Chains A and B, each alone.
Chain A
């Protein structure tokens, strides 16, 4: 009898303490000191094989430059990219000249098409964001075809 009353008492006291809060008590206890933070230095992926994150997973480049495609890309680049990127020299962002010697074509297109995702998830893009003082790569909402045209233009630089 005495025990059951005490048990009831305990339940009531616990209810009174936590009953109205929807916050789980463990939410405050997640600072588990036994979990070591992950190393801040991520493994550098090979920039020539890293495809980045975004809609493009595979791109085949032709053996030679498709000039008609590149001309379309040049027009788009001049309209939407030149506020931050000069073709051959560093400006607000890096110059695209020689980009395919430094990155995979998929990475370049993903950086154009999904820059917000790239600077959060891709190690190279994250590093570039810091290197360029946190200046964000603007998403200019190019279509995949337009991004492909711009990529072809980069091959001519």
Chain B
């Protein structure tokens, strides 16, 4: 009996061990290296059931992909890649005739850029879900994306800039998006020795006015600053509304081996620009007209077409001639991020080579200006005494501070690149409350609304520069990644890793409810003012103008009209102007023709797009719909006949049994 009971006990023990093993493996398909997400309910916090929506949209910059990617939070599901500065053959962006003008610059058509910092439009210091702006870093530009369509609506080139990095960082009512140059350059550009940097190079800070109803951008003025490298920016809010703060490095004003040469000075500067004062100087006629050469490109949802306009001058304010316009705030060791807290009182600066985080006080700054507590000037721009503007210091919170976001509850979250962590600290007491590691080397971080006056402090997203062992390897190039942390408790909690497109720099987040109800479902055909629209099938036609042939074509489930065309000739330039006649949600059609050297068209319901086709050989070439549209999608096809140059083949077209038109 005893023996039997022992056997039973052993059996019981074995069963319990088995149970523990089985239960502990639940929901953990892969136990790789330190996951960080140790809490058992992390999965349930990011689980969005099939058919359910995420609570937030997150817009991640694509970095060197030149695009913006829209994700859902907390799931980390990718919703859309929005093409902005780089062509996207999947959507025909930059390949169809309608969107090419968006990528036009004073250097000609540019198919790529490096996009860093998205900025959601704000009203009264709160994100409003109308537009998102983003900077093009390489060939200086600013873009505006319409959040009713998730399409790029406007791209403005920034003249007198050597790289648009400290941008867009807009003001609390979207009065301005700003565009500070990363590299100082000769202004206006000219052929000079690089070694004449100190004498000839200047840094322009551009203030781009945003028209409040249409969102259209216009360079209102530029402030011509000494030859510093302007890095990031943050516009004031509440009491500090009317000011914008730009960090800078290279106060040494060197032009080579900056790694060493721009890290010599103990302090660099934050430039505080009083843009309301600038408006007064503009009114008083203090601005100088500088010749400039830049492009302003605007897309119309009515014509479904962008236009590109050459701009020829820009208004410039010179700080030495405009007292009170700009002040320099000494800030330790090459400050990178600058972030004004939601109350508008503190200007949090992260000296990337400093051990501390420095917070300047806006009220102290005003007092210092009043008291003229200055420590000299650079080219007529007063330098405020460091002690007179310093509001507080977070002492040795980590290594390599970069950026700070806020949760609206008095807490700040700063990213530390070198020590690879997020540190939570209290604004005003400057005490460190919590820290969590990131995997690995975090750059920017984002709390939805975390740079506005009304943060939605539920999550923080870490945007990491290095991925290493976090995912299955994919050869030498690894995915970039984001990590989601819950911040609604006392302690931050890592919930999720997810890959991102390109290299994400900054990001923005917003409650889905601010965007979802306004999302456009289709374009009304009756409002289509495209010059080559084909509003009904009976309007379809083919028109020859010399070597240019214009095809007015329609598409609906599941045929083209016309779908057979004869009379093209080698050497022709054929314009397929294709109108999608559908008037329903989620019924785009694609269009592709064999041998096209550009891309496909992806045409939304009610929209017209144009593909240029220059057939090089005679023959009969298929065309078809590329976007699965119906049970008869595979039948949505046609033929284009190409005859030799100079042949007598008549131009004719038809659909089905109809008599060909010619």
State in angstroms the CA–CA spacing of A1 and B12 once bound together. 13
Contacts of B650 in A (CB 8 A): none
Do B19 and A140 touch (CB < 8 A)?
no
Select B557's contact among A2, A15, A82, A138, beta carbons within 8 Å: A138
Do A141 and B535 touch (CB < 8 A)?
no
The 3 closest A-B pairs by CB, nearest first: A134-B631, A20-B26, A83-B556
Main SS of chain B's interface residues?
A: mixed
- B561 CB → nearest A CB, Å: 7
State in angstroms the CA–CA spacing of A9 and B27 once bound together. 25
Q: Is A19 an interface residue (CB 8 A)?
A: yes
Taking A13-B15, A79-B525, A79-B536 as given, write out 11 further A-B residue pairs in contact, using a Cβ cutoff of 8 Å, ordered by the A residue number. A5-B5, A9-B12, A12-B12, A16-B18, A16-B23, A20-B27, A78-B538, A80-B525, A83-B536, A139-B583, A140-B583
Do A8 and B23 touch (CB < 8 A)?
no
0/1 string, A1-42, CB within 8 A of B gives 1:
110011011001101100110000000000000000000000
- B327 CB → nearest A CB, Å: 57
State in angstroms the CA–CA spacing of A78 and B536 once bound together. 7
Contacts of A2 in B (CB 8 A): 4-5, 8
State in angstroms the CA–CA spacing of A49 and B561 once bound together. 37
0/1 string, B88-109, CB within 8 A of A gives 1:
0000000000000000000000
State in angstroms the CA–CA spacing of A127 and B573 once bound together. 45
Select A136's contact among B19, B557, B583, beta carbons within 8 Å: B557
Q: Is B582 an interface residue (CB 8 A)?
A: yes
Do A19 and B22 touch (CB < 8 A)?
yes
Contacts of A88 in B (CB 8 A): none
A-B contact count (CB 8 A): 84
Contacts of A84 in B (CB 8 A): 556-557
- A83 CB → nearest B CB, Å: 4
Contacts of B23 in A (CB 8 A): 16, 19-20
State in angstroms the CA–CA spacing of A16 and B18 once bound together. 7
Contacts of B556 in A (CB 8 A): 83-84, 138
Q: Is A135 an interface residue (CB 8 A)?
A: yes
Q: Is A133 an interface residue (CB 8 A)?
A: yes
Q: For window 8-53 of chain B, which residues contact chain A by CB distance below 8 Å?
A: 8-9, 11-12, 15-16, 18-19, 22-23, 25-27
Supposing A20-B26, A80-B525, A80-B581 touch, asked if A138 and B587 sit within 8 A by C-beta, the answer is yes
Do A83 and B22 touch (CB < 8 A)?
no
State in angstroms the CA–CA spacing of A52 and B556 once bound together. 25
- B631 CB → nearest A CB, Å: 4
Nearest neighbor of A6 in chain B, beta-carbon distance: B8
- A153 CB → nearest B CB, Å: 15
Select A79's contact among B18, B535, B631, B656, beta carbons within 8 Å: B535
State in angstroms the CA–CA spacing of A19 and B16 once bound together. 13
State in angstroms the CA–CA spacing of A138 and B26 once bound together. 46
- A121 CB → nearest B CB, Å: 18
State in angstroms the CA–CA spacing of A15 and B16 once bound together. 10
Do B18 and A83 touch (CB < 8 A)?
no
Nearest neighbor of A10 in chain B, beta-carbon distance: B15
Count chain B CB atoms within 10 A of each CB in A9, A16, A19 and give the residue with the most.
A16
Do A79 and B19 touch (CB < 8 A)?
no
Interface residues of B (CB under 8 A from A): 4-5, 8-9, 11-12, 15-16, 18-19, 22-23, 25-27, 522, 525-526, 535-538, 554, 556-559, 561, 581-584, 587, 630-632, 656
Supposing A135-B630, A135-B632, A136-B557 touch, asked if A12 and B16 sit within 8 A by C-beta, the answer is yes
Contacts of A136 in B (CB 8 A): 557, 630-631
Supposing A9-B15, A20-B25, A83-B556 touch, asked if A141 and B583 sit within 8 A by C-beta, the answer is yes
Contacts of B587 in A (CB 8 A): 138
Do A16 and B525 touch (CB < 8 A)?
no
Contacts of B9 in A (CB 8 A): 5
Interface residues of A (CB under 8 A from B): 1-2, 5-6, 8-9, 12-13, 15-16, 19-20, 78-80, 82-84, 91-92, 133-136, 138-141
Contacts of A140 in B (CB 8 A): 582-584
Do B584 and A141 touch (CB < 8 A)?
yes
Contacts of A138 in B (CB 8 A): 556-557, 582-584, 587
Contacts of B27 in A (CB 8 A): 20
Task: List 13 contacting pairs A-B, 8 Å CB cutoff, sorted by A.
Answer: A2-B4, A2-B8, A12-B16, A16-B19, A16-B23, A20-B23, A78-B536, A82-B536, A83-B556, A83-B561, A134-B632, A140-B582, A140-B584
Nearest neighbor of B526 in chain A, beta-carbon distance: A79
State in angstroms the CA–CA spacing of A91 and B587 once bound together. 21
Do A133 and B582 touch (CB < 8 A)?
no
Do A15 and B8 touch (CB < 8 A)?
no
Count chain A CB atoms within 10 A of each CB in B25, B27, B583 and give the residue with the most.
B583
State in angstroms the CA–CA spacing of A16 and B21 once bound together. 9
State in angstroms the CA–CA spacing of A2 and B554 once bound together. 80
Contacts of B8 in A (CB 8 A): 2, 5-6, 9
Do B559 and A12 touch (CB < 8 A)?
no
State in angstroms the CA–CA spacing of A55 and B380 once bound together. 72
- A48 CB → nearest B CB, Å: 29
- A94 CB → nearest B CB, Å: 15
Nearest neighbor of A92 in chain B, beta-carbon distance: B559
Contacts of B11 in A (CB 8 A): 9
Nearest neighbor of A21 in chain B, beta-carbon distance: B26
Supposing A19-B22, A20-B23, A138-B587 touch, asked if A83 and B630 sit within 8 A by C-beta, the answer is no
- A142 CB → nearest B CB, Å: 8
State in angstroms the CA–CA spacing of A136 and B390 once bound together. 68
State in angstroms the CA–CA spacing of A110 and B525 once bound together. 22
Contacts of A16 in B (CB 8 A): 15, 18-19, 22-23
Nearest neighbor of B554 in chain A, beta-carbon distance: A83
